[in-house]
Amino acid sequence: MPDSSDDIHIRIEGRAGRVTFTRPKALNALTHEMCLALDDALKAWDEDDSVALVLIDAEGEKAFCAGGDIAAMYHAGKAGDLGAPRRFWREEYRMNARIAEYAKPIVCLMQGFVMGGGVGVSGHASHRVVCDSTRVAMPECGIGFVPDVGGTLLLAGAPGRLGEYLGLTAARMGPGDAIHAGFADAYVPQDRWGDLVQALCDTGDTGRIDDMAEPAPASDMAAQRDRIDAMFGGDRLEDVRRSVETDDSAIAQEAAKAMARNAPLSMAVTLGMIREMRAPGNGIRDALRTEYRVAHRIIEDGDFLEGVRAAIIDKDRNPRWQHADGHVPDDAVVRMLAPLGADDWDFHGD
């Protein structure tokens, strides 16, 4: 049995292997140790015939998991230790891939904020349950990073150009939006989650989710499909921004404000990754390999450290982005996405 800690509680209850994130004051943000513990649990339960399914949830009302521990990455990077965040990403991405490829059902109960690293845990699970408080987002461009943890594959699979809209604006999805976009599967009111957990542990039968599911709230983003497709269909970031800025709708105005705040290099690279992931045959490992190439470089050559500084360290909300004029040369995107050779991400380890 993998060990629990103050941040994560791992155990077997009935037919379920259970994982609970237990740092609600930090919005259950993933630490390196939490990623390793979750991965170890999945490996152990894969060989345990007594475990019929895995159930992942979190303490607190505010968040299932609002991302990764970016403050730790910032401090390591500023101290010149680029190896620490790179190790975190390599090992987190292996856990993401294991979830996506797991032979047994994985159920995630996604209350409150589900962002970044939280999407990496829940978004690739086989059974993703949302409730009224659920707010899913990929806000990485706001801190000079890019959607990762396999998020570019999810964004690429969203209807129309919704993936580009979500990746470039960090727009938050409610429960209906999350199901429409392919980030969730079922809506179960949170006041029924206690009964659902008990049923899953007692039976190991994921059919109990369908028994308790209700019609999801309507998706506002689905209703805006045509406008989103028109605004976010451009080939380059400058084309998209031009389309957004010349549209006078409320959704366009909100999108323009968001994109004005975000790192231009991150948005241009995100656009390239989403388009790349739409190529036939691409899967979770392709997405993670490409995302790792960007993560490996962006901490040294991109805007990640500056973005984290402005957002959560100094909190001045005044990042000094590269390409602040909004023009990102094509070769800057190509460099970020290029293979790393011996440093490329590998699911099987270093």
Between CA 301 and CA 126 the distance in angstroms is 36
15 burial (CB, 10 Å; 0-12 / 13-18 / 19+) is middle
pTM of the model: 0.96
Residue 337's alpha-carbon distances to 31, 138, 264, 292, 350, in angstroms, are 26, 19, 15, 9, 21
Q: What's the whole-number mean pLDDT along residues 215-225?
A: 97
Q: What is the fold of 8-343?
A: 2-enoyl-CoA Hydratase; Chain A, domain 1 (3.90.226)
Domain ranges of the chain: 8-343
Between CA 183 and CA 203 the distance in angstroms is 26
Q: What's the whole-number mean pLDDT along residues 112-137?
A: 98
Residue 350: per-residue pLDDT: 57
**In this prediction, what percent of the chain has a pLDDT beyond 90?**
96
- For residue 326, what pLDDT band results from cuts at 50, 70 and 90? confident
Matching residue, tokens 């609002």: 66
pLDDT at 4 over 80: no
Q: What's the whole-number mean pLDDT along residues 166-183?
A: 98
* Phi and psi at residue 95, to the nearest 5°: -65, -40
Between CA 325 and CA 27 the distance in angstroms is 34
pLDDT at 1 over 70: no
Enumerate residues 6+ apart whose C-beta is below 8 A from 37: 2, 3, 4, 5, 8, 10
Q: What's the whole-number mean pLDDT along residues 113-135?
A: 98
Residue 69: per-residue pLDDT: 87
Q: What's the whole-number mean pLDDT along residues 282-290?
A: 97
Output the furthest CA–CA distance in the chain (Å, rounded): 58
- Backbone φ/ψ region at 80: left (φ over 0), alpha (ψ -120 to 50), beta: left
DSSP classification of residue 124: T
Tens-digit pLDDT profile for residues 136-165: 999 999 999 999 999 999 999 999 999 999
- The length of the chain in residues reads 350
What value does the mean pLDDT of the chain take? 96
Residue 2: per-residue pLDDT: 60
Dihedral sign computed on CA atoms, order 252, 255, 257, 260: negative
Q: What's the whole-number mean pLDDT along residues 51-55?
A: 98
Q: What's the whole-number mean pLDDT along residues 211-218?
A: 97
Residue 5: per-residue pLDDT: 81
Residue 348: per-residue pLDDT: 86
